[in-house]
Amino acid sequence: MQSLTRRPALSGLALIRSIASIFAAPLLFASVAAIAVQSTPALAADGPQTDDEKAFYAIGAGTARQLKSLLPLSDRELDMYLQGARDTVAGNALALEPESAQPLIKSMVERKQAAALAPAIAAGEAFVAEKAKTPGAKVSESGLVYIETQAGTGATPRASDRVRAHYHGTMIDGTVFDSSVERNQPFDFSLSGVISCWTEGIAMMKVGTKATLICPPKIAYGFQRKGSIPAASTLIFDVELLEVLPGK
């Protein structure tokens, strides 16, 4: 089940720090560099054989995995990555010291991430704009689109309340990523402990209400991947508020 709890603070700093740490840790970087210097066609064909080769292969795969989020890489960019590795392990003079390149790394990561997320952001914005035209739709300052499909007559929850609800969560292409309805298991939660789209949207409902909450990424899971939910996803939740739970 996907967690609806609040996401971490929206930031690319974790990735930036992770990549930067590769270059700031000489021993680890030198270990990775050895792969670039010593790799041969035979190794590429046969794969690692000894325990040490397997360890070096795992180090290389682990550090290179950090670069996957920066794709696409040009041949020149990949060459520079490998050249830095070769120069380090060979003891050659470096074109620049890794410690001094932290601002360059930060700027590059942020720029490439923004470019990679741009299509998802644009598609989400177009979807939200279209759904906002639905008769009866309410659009809040946060960007939430609230569409009531069945009026309720019960209590309206307060921000401090715990509630029980059924929900069906989809992406804008119709992919179901989570559904208490399909599990036939209602979800109990505190309004203060879920994504802000839910905190805001469910506070607009009465018990018995059914509504669709359309959540732009900034009030859902932001610009980081969350389980099977891609980064920068606009999400749609069909929600039925079943009960305001008694306080503890």
Residues annotated as catalytic are 167, 177-178, 195, 221, 237
Q: Which H or E element spans position 237?
A: strand 235-244
Q: Under DSSP, is residue 192 helix (H, G, I), strand (E, B) or coil?
A: helix
DSSP notation for 50-115: SHHHHHHHHHHHHHHHHHHTTPPPPHHHHHHHHHHHHHHHHTPPPSS-GGGGHHHHHHHHHHHHHH
Q: How far is CA 122 from CA 114, 119, 127, 164, in A?
A: 12, 5, 9, 33
Can you tell me the distance from the alpha carbon of 60 to that of 42, in angstroms, rounded to the nearest whole number? 17
What lies within 8 Å, CB to CB, of 160 at 6+ separation is 190, 191, 192
- Cβ proximity of 32 and 55 under 8 Å: no
